[in-house]
Structures are given as structure tokens and as C-alpha cells.
Structure 1
Amino acid sequence: MTRDTRAPFTIRPATDDDWPALWPIVETVVREGETYVYPLDLTSEQARELWTERAPGATVVAEGADGTLLGTAKMGPNRPGHGDHVGTASFMVSPAARGLGVGRALGEHVVAWHREQGYRGIQFNAVVESNEVAVRLWRALGFEVVGTVPGAFRSPAHGYVGLHVMYLPLVD
């Protein structure tokens, strides 16, 4: 577990028992339609299958001091086989917890996890261009935009926007 000294929450591995509290976060983010390409009518069962990583990956939650789940991240290899030395990750933060440092703490945790697991880099395949908060955070953590697919994401608020591929090398 990681304790963030700047905020009253802990990052820990997700358990099966967390899903009932995790689903409302996932459902809200998916239904907003601004950050993931998931179908808006995703069911709890479908979301659980998409979000819960199996080994060698992992899923974590950010848990408030009162036991409330504030956010989540999933991580693991970006591709199998000859691509499994590069990791990837996805993140969701409860609307009530946005701006509290949950996303940054999850991002720092994910980078540390990938380093500990021996990955050579982390690739985010589809960071929505109009998600300026996420793009700014990933850049602050050392990620670079290595390419953008123009108009690849249909945002309810912004129309057709690009999807960034972002990368952080973990070795020289």
C-alpha cells in the first residue's frame, strides 16, 4: 500500500469486494463519454471484465480515510509476447475527488509499479486530446506525446478530437 502524505487516502490493490463501490466511479466516467472509448451503455459486468486486470497486471484503488473509494487505476503490459516489456495504464477518479491529488498519486504509483516490475517504458494508447487535465498531468510526470490520431475520438462536448499516444521511457 502507498500512503500519500499530502492527502488523506491510501492506494492499495483492488479486491473483489471493492467492485460495488468501484462501479459507480467507472459508470460515471464512462457515461460522461469524454475520456474513454467504452460504450456508454456498458453494464457493471462488462465494465468489471474490462477494468479488472489479471496477472501480470494489477488494479488498484485510492481509498479515503473513511473507506470511500476515490479513484482507481489498472496497469500491465501494453501488448503480449514481444511487446510485453512496455506497460500501459488507465485511470478513473470520482467526480467528488477531482482536484484532490488522487490522479497524480495514482499516476506516480503506476510509474513506480512499472519500474519495480522491470518494464522499459509506459505507453498510453489513447489519451483524449481535449482531456487537458490528464494531458497536463502525464506531461508533468514525464510522458511525451509521440503521436496524435486526428479526429479519432467523438467527444460529446468537443466533437471529433484527436487521441494522443503518450510515452514515458523507464530506462536510458
Structure 2
Amino acid sequence: MALVVRTATAEDWPAIWPIWRQVVAAGDTYVWELDAMTEDDARAAWMLPPPAEVMVAVDDAGVVVGTAEVRPNQVGRGSHVANASFMVDPACAGRGIGRALAEAVLERARAAGYRAMQFNAVVASNVRAIALWRSLGFTVVGTVPGAFRHAERGEVDLLVMHRWL
């Protein structure tokens, strides 16, 4: 499958929303609870204004199969470190979409002048994501014990992961 990763527009939201809904509903990677959020809430949480940037991965048929967003991890004196979040259509998992999005986000963060990237809440049971992040040079710099209520496993650790850009 050929992929194009590009900046998302407001017109992409109808294609992002089903992915967002499925990923959040699974209850195994994001802290949001689907029942507590409307579609408008979800759009506001994902389609952040600048300096954030939302990206989409589009397959060769023109279908949005994944999305990511990159933004400052903190304001002011912490704004030189980026943060990012990623979602891949569950039906397309294992096809390299997450890696393509991650590589594009890392490049975008470098180009925007960020010095590092930090993930604040990687669910410790998300072994595929952790393996991807490690393969891209991220290391675990901290563990928050039992900080995530996994839909099936109960309380699991959250990892803080970091890499220099």
C-alpha cells in the first residue's frame, strides 16, 4: 500500500472521526472515554489549533487510514520539546502506517525547530507502539505506576518516552 502523509484540513475530520472513535472506544491506549465525549468534543481534542499540526495518512485509494498530531509538550519554557499522538485505523494495523506517521511527525517536529520529542502517556501494555518508539530512538525516562485504567487489564503503568531530534 502506498501512503501519503500530509497536513490534515478541516475537511478531513469526517474521515478521522471513525478512526478516533474506534481507537478511543477500545480503551487500551488513550485516556479519553468515548461515552463522556461528543463528536464536537473529540474534534476539539484532536484538531488542535496552531502551533499544533494534525496530519493524516492517506492510502493509494485516497482513504484516510491514520492520523497524528504534533504540538508543544508544554507552553513557554517547555515549548522546545514536542509531543505527539497517533491513531491508525484498527482494520489497517500492522501495515506500516504508524511508522510512516511517526517518521513524518519526527521530521515535521525537526523542521518546526523542536529539540526533542516526549510522549507523556504510553500505555505499558501497548507493546507494538513501544517497539515502534524504541526502533525510532525513544527511551523510557519514567514510569507512572498504575496510572492508566485499561478496559480489560485494569490499572497498568504509563511510560514517559523521550528522544532528541
Bucket of the pairwise TM-score, normalised by the shorter protein: over 0.9
Percent of pairs with identical residues: 52
**Distance (whole Å) between structure 2 residues aligned to residue 127 and residue 49 of structure 1:** 21
1:130 aligns with 2:146: no
- Highest relative contact order (Cα 8 Å, sep 6+), 1 or 2? 2
**Distance (whole Å) between structure 1 residues aligned to residue 52 and residue 146 of structure 2:** 30
Alignment of structure 1 residues 1-172 onto 2, 5 Å: 7-41=1-35, 42-170=37-165
Q: Is the 1:53–1:75 contact (alpha carbons within 8 Å) kept by the matching residues of 2?
A: no
**Distance (whole Å) between structure 2 residues aligned to residue 141 and residue 157 of structure 1:** 28
**Distance (whole Å) between structure 1 residues aligned to residue 154 and residue 161 of structure 2:** 21
Letter of the 2:139 counterpart: E
Consecutive unaligned residues in structure 2, runs of 5 or more: none
**Distance (whole Å) between structure 2 residues aligned to residue 105 and residue 21 of structure 1:** 18
**Distance (whole Å) between structure 1 residues aligned to residue 108 and residue 163 of structure 2:** 13
Runs of 4+ that moved beyond 2 A: none
Q: Is the 1:87–1:123 contact (alpha carbons within 8 Å) kept by the matching residues of 2?
A: yes
Listed one character per residue, the Cα deviations across residues 124-172 of structure 1 (whole Å, up to 9, x for unaligned) are 00000000000110000000000000000011121110000000112xx
**Distance (whole Å) between structure 1 residues aligned to residue 150 and residue 34 of structure 2:** 12
Letter of the 1:135 counterpart: I
**Distance (whole Å) between structure 1 residues aligned to residue 109 and residue 68 of structure 2:** 13
SS of alignment partner, residue 138 of structure 1: helix
TM-score in terms of structure 1 length: 0.93
Listed one character per residue, the Cα deviations across residues 29-75 of structure 1 (whole Å, up to 9, x for unaligned) are 00001000002212211010000121111000001111111000000
Listed one character per residue, the Cα deviations across residues 88-117 of structure 1 (whole Å, up to 9, x for unaligned) are 000000011111100000011111111111
Letter of the 1:30 counterpart: V
Task: Report the number of matched residues.
Answer: 164
